[in-house]
Structure 1
Amino acid sequence: MTLASILEEAENRRKTVVYHAPEPGDFREQFDVRNVDVEFRKIPNGGPEPFLTILEDGQFRGAITLENLETFLWPPITHPYDVTELSPEYRALFELLDDTVFASLTRRQLLATSREFEDRAWRTGRGAFHVGFQSLSAFRAQAPLYRQMAAETDLDIHVYCDFDGATDEFSDCEVTLHPVSRDGVGRYWFLVFDGGGDDDRKNALVAEQRTEGTFYGVWTYDAALVDSALAELG
């Protein structure tokens, strides 16, 4: 499996959102950045409040209100540190809409999600954390953070980048450096955390730049998909 196939596997988990309401309005547009199918089913005026049902592989996964959905419409998504602490309905929301591929992510959105993943790994304080930078300048900007993470936690941190022969510059950074080609792993912006032995803390972000300033990617807390990414990185 490759990082490209991680995206493909996530895409194969494509979900269908069915909007039940008297009128379709602009609901479909709110999912433009997500790789999901959106359908509309009319309900009579005076009936229940508009709601959504979510299908995966044609099978019913759950139903949620529009109010509860708002958290998920636009990235970045703030995922709870421990889903077991959530109420049952909010836990169901994360399970229903996790792993959805985003067809259009900006650098700002990816940065915000990356900061969340770094924070989750830091708070866990153990386990393997793999991070891919698309440029040496991007890693230079983050190197002080990774020096501190390595010094203050038991994380086994692996950094992937086209170092252009500059690995000696980071000899004081207690992380494992992996020089990679921009034509291979270096094409991707990724963070993959093995959860420190806890499946509930695993997460991964894999994104590929397809047009200037715009990325196609997925972030997931699904342990099996995270394990696939970890296997690719070795």
Structure 2
Amino acid sequence: MSPGGVIEAAIERRKTLVHYAPDPGDLSERFVARNVDVTFRELPPGGPGPFVTVREDDDFQGAVSVESLEVLLAPPHASAFDHDDVSPTYGALLELLDDTVFASLSRRQLLATTREFEDRAWRAGDGLLHVGFQTTEALEPQRALYRRLAAETDLDVHVHFTGDSVDLDDITVHEDSECAADYWFVAFDGPDDSQCALVAEQRDENDYEGAWTYDPDLVAGVLEDVTAGA
């Protein structure tokens, strides 16, 4: 499966958010560019705080407060492997909205999700990690981070980009990667249930369409395709 195939598969698995609050606010508008349907249900005075339930094909997936959902819409800055910077709430939200297409993602949102998946690989300490940086310039600020990942774990780390050659100890480098030219991606195949992948296609300077998945088959498909196109 191509990286774009993850986005296509996610489009077919549209989710519904049911927003419970005293008034609708602008939540529906903020999700208009996402692959979700948002419906509103009014909460009576004195009821619980605003919250959202998530359904897929009428199956209940979970519930989360609107306050927590704001973390996903405006994610915190994330430093590598600093658990204080990416809260457990962010990872839980990603899993709750697994296979949801976000048609307008900023670099900040993508970076926070990338950090969550890098941290997942770091904690697993073993497995296969492929990351697409698109350009050498995008890779450069992450050089120390990926050297640490390769040196301090048993991960098999691969980086993909287009542009000039770089030398990274203990890391497999894929120059002029076909997939990296078009997509920002992170794909991790680790032990137990730690598989995950993020794929995003750039639409504008700071605007991406993207999706993430924890489905082992989809992750394996991404890894197969990026390896073939390396």
- TM-score tier (shorter): 0.7 to 0.9
Aligned partner (choices 167, 170, 177) of residue 174 of structure 1: 170
CA distance 1:111–1:93, shift in 2 (3 Å): closer
Question: What runs of 5+ residues in structure 2 fail to find an aligned partner?
Answer: none
1:115-154 pair list within 5 angstroms: 115-154=115-154
Pairwise CA distance, 1:190: 0.8
CA distance 1:147–1:42, shift in 2 (3 Å): closer
Pairwise CA distance, 1:178: 1.7
Pairwise CA distance, 1:147: 2.4
What CA deviation, in whole Å up to 9, does each residue of 1:79-106 have, x standing for no partner?
xx9xxxx9xxx99866532232221111
Name the counterpart of 1:29: 29
Name the counterpart of 1:18: 18
| 1:189 maps to 2:189 | no
| 1:211 maps to 2:207 | no
CA distance 1:129–1:217, shift in 2 (3 Å): same
1:1-234 pair list within 5 angstroms: 1-21=1-21, 23-32=23-32, 34-42=34-42, 50-67=50-67, 69-75=69-75, 95-164=95-164, 166=165, 169-170=166-167, 173-181=169-177, 184-195=179-190, 197-199=191-193, 201-234=194-227
CA distance 1:154–1:181, shift in 2 (3 Å): closer
Contact 1:3 1:185 in 2 (8 A): no
CA distance 1:76–1:227, shift in 2 (3 Å): farther
CA distance in 2 between partners of 1:54 and 1:189 (Å)? 27
CA distance 1:229–1:75, shift in 2 (3 Å): farther
Contact 2:20 2:50 in 1 (8 A): yes
CA distance in 1 between partners of 2:146 and 2:48 (Å)? 51
When the two chains are superposed, the root-mean-square deviation of aligned CA atoms in Å is 3.1
Pairwise CA distance, 1:194: 0.7
CA distance 1:48–1:116, shift in 2 (3 Å): closer
* Identical-pair percentage: 55
What TM-score, normalized to structure 2?
A: 0.77
Q: Single out whichever of 68-77 and 214-223 deviates more from structure 2.
A: 68-77
Question: What runs of 5+ residues in structure 1 fail to find an aligned partner?
Answer: none
The one-letter code sitting in structure 1 at the alignment partner of 2:204 is T
CA distance in 1 between partners of 2:149 and 2:42 (Å)? 52
Pairwise CA distance, 1:129: 0.6
CA distance in 2 between partners of 1:35 and 1:17 (Å)? 10
Contact 1:31 1:73 in 2 (8 A): no
Q: Per the alignment, in what secondary structure is the counterpart of residue 186 of structure 1?
A: coil
Give the number of the structure whose residues are more often helix, by fraction: 1
CA distance in 2 between partners of 1:19 and 1:161 (Å)? 40
Q: Which has the larger radius of gyration?
A: 1
CA distance 1:113–1:54, shift in 2 (3 Å): closer
Contact 1:33 1:105 in 2 (8 A): no
Contact 2:54 2:63 in 1 (8 A): yes
Contact 1:150 1:174 in 2 (8 A): yes
CA distance 1:64–1:14, shift in 2 (3 Å): same
Contact 1:76 1:110 in 2 (8 A): no
CA distance in 1 between partners of 2:126 and 2:206 (Å)? 33
CA distance 1:212–1:67, shift in 2 (3 Å): closer
Q: Per the alignment, in what secondary structure is the counterpart of residue 181 of structure 2?
A: helix
